[in-house]
Amino acid sequence: MSPPSPPRVEENRVVELHVDTYKLERKHGFLMLTISKGSGVYLKFFVMEYEYVRRELEGARVSNSKLLVDDNGIFLLLTVRRDVEVVEHGNKLIVDINEDSVDCLLIDYDKNKAVFSIKHDIRAIRTNYRRTRMRIQEKVENPALRNKLLAKYGARERNRVEDRLKKITTLLAEITKEHNADLVRENLKDLKLSGKKRSK
């Protein structure tokens, strides 16, 4: 079995980090990222971390991750794994993922039922960036500049969509915790970052 390939920067400025090519450890109170370039050469970075990251890293195992090289700096997209105890709760929060909303049915057996909807603008974000990409393809004649702009706005679109999804899932997690409920999703494939409309 061949060893993992050293990380390299592609045109989209994303560095794939195999779990065997990097190490994340805390030294003197600071989080340090060490990346192997091969042949005994290493790159070392001090990582600025949010407060919640300390809690997430406790007892967790790192996995294959990514570095995003952006104009504003270098961002570590860290994937961690941890063992959790799954406990079945008495109540249920049933969600239906739609293009512009998340329809919810909260079944609280002590407080009856509640139906509500969480609105989001993911569809509008995708539509706006689709128009931007079309204008770039129509007006920018230089292929290198056109590809650079398409990659730039494509990354911005992904980041905005992912931000919305994270906020929605965080809100759903808070609701389930408050009402001691299990989360039941109607269709898991609707959670993928795809702008295509699916029929039920």
Residue 99 vs residues 119, 126, 162: alpha-carbon distances, Å: 9, 10, 14
pLDDT at 7: 52
Q: In this structure, which topology does domain 91-191 adopt according to CATH?
A: Nucleotidyltransferase; domain 5 (3.30.420)
pLDDT at 195: 42
**Distance (Å, rounded) from C-alpha 97 to C-alpha 200?**
11
pTM of the model: 0.51
pLDDT at 193: 39
Q: Are strands 41-47 and 30-38 parallel, antiparallel or unpaired?
A: antiparallel
**Distance (Å, rounded) from C-alpha 159 to C-alpha 126?**
11
pLDDT in tens, 5-31: 555 555 557 788 888 888 888 888 788
Amino acid at 177: K
pLDDT in tens, 175-193: 888 888 888 876 534 444 3
The angle that helices 122-139 and 143-178 make with each other, rounded to 10 degrees, is 180
Concatenated DSSP letters of 52-119: HHHHHHTT-EE-SEEEEEETTEEEEE--EE--------SEEEEEEE-SSEEEEEEEETTTEEEEEEEE
For the chain, which ranges sit under pLDDT 50? 188-200
